[in-house]
Amino acid sequence: MSEYKLSGVMFSEEQIKERVKALGRIITEDYQGKEVFLIGILKGSVPFMADLMRCIDLDVKIDFMSVSSYGSATHSSGVVRILKDLDSDIRGKNVIVVEDIIDSGLTLSYLKDYLIKRGPASFRICTFLDKPARRKVELHPDYCGFEIEDKFIVGYGLDVDQRYRQLPYISWVTTE
């Protein structure tokens, strides 16, 4: 197994805080007078979800899903297995899927079809990070924290082999 080396700070705690606040303001404006139903994708979205929901000044409900995409530690295969489904019905709800990062787009593209079949009133995607250069399918987030280049990111929920999720800032790893 290869070893990963932690690099520097790509986005500081302060930069993350400011950006998440801004996203919360935009979502609050876009959904004025409505309730939003945030669906966090475990486990990577946990810090982002916790911060974002507190920056949205609307009626907010939350739920989580856990999915696994078969593949290696750093590359998903596009075959998605649902490990934990929603606890409640999303029919008629304004769904916003909250994700840590979009890479190939395969996971969210699958989830989008899966969730839209359940009849939400609206469906949008909010990702903290986006690596558009790596996309394998047409998929655009409606809200995005930062667009980044092709690096393997860790911190603020993101892991490599389950490590570094607890870092309060965004970093990346290199293989030695």
List contacts with ligand IMP (CB under 6 A): 44, 69, 76, 99-107, 152-153, 158-159
Quick note: the x/- pattern for Mg ion over 82-101, rule CB under 5 A, is ------------------x-
CA 124 to CA 112: how far, in whole Å? Answer: 9
Q: Which of 51, 103, 130, 159 is catalytic?
A: 103
Q: Crossing angle of helices 46-53/13-30, nearest 10°? A: 60
- The closest alpha carbon to 40, from 29, 28, 30, 52, belongs to 52
For residue 121, what are the CA distances in angstroms to 77, 93, 138, 140? 30, 5, 22, 19
Q: How far is the CB of 139 from ligand IMP (least distance, A)?
A: 8
What's at 112, amino acid-wise? Answer: K
Q: By C-beta, is 51 or 100 nearer to Mg ion?
A: 100
Is 159 catalytic? The answer is: no
Burial of 1 (0-12, 13-18, 19+ CB in 10 A): exposed
Q: Is the separation of the CB atoms in 97 and 67 below 8 Å?
A: no
Q: By C-beta, is 27 or 97 nearer to ligand IMP?
A: 97
Q: How far is the CB of 168 from Mg ion (least distance, A)?
A: 18
Residue 67 near which of Mg ion, ligand IMP, none (CB within 5-8 Å, type-dependent)? none
Quick note: the x/- pattern for Mg ion over 17-46, rule CB under 5 A, is ---------------------------x--
Q: How many residues of this chain interact with Mg ion, rule: CB under 5 A? A: 2
Beta-strand ranges (E) seen in 85-176 are 94-102, 122-130, 143-147, 152-154, 171-175
Q: Is 141 in the site for Mg ion (CB under 5 A)?
A: no
Residue 153 near which of ligand IMP, Mg ion, none (CB within 5-8 Å, type-dependent)? ligand IMP
Interacting residue ranges for Mg ion, rule: CB under 5 A = 44, 100
- Give the catalytic positions in this structure: 103
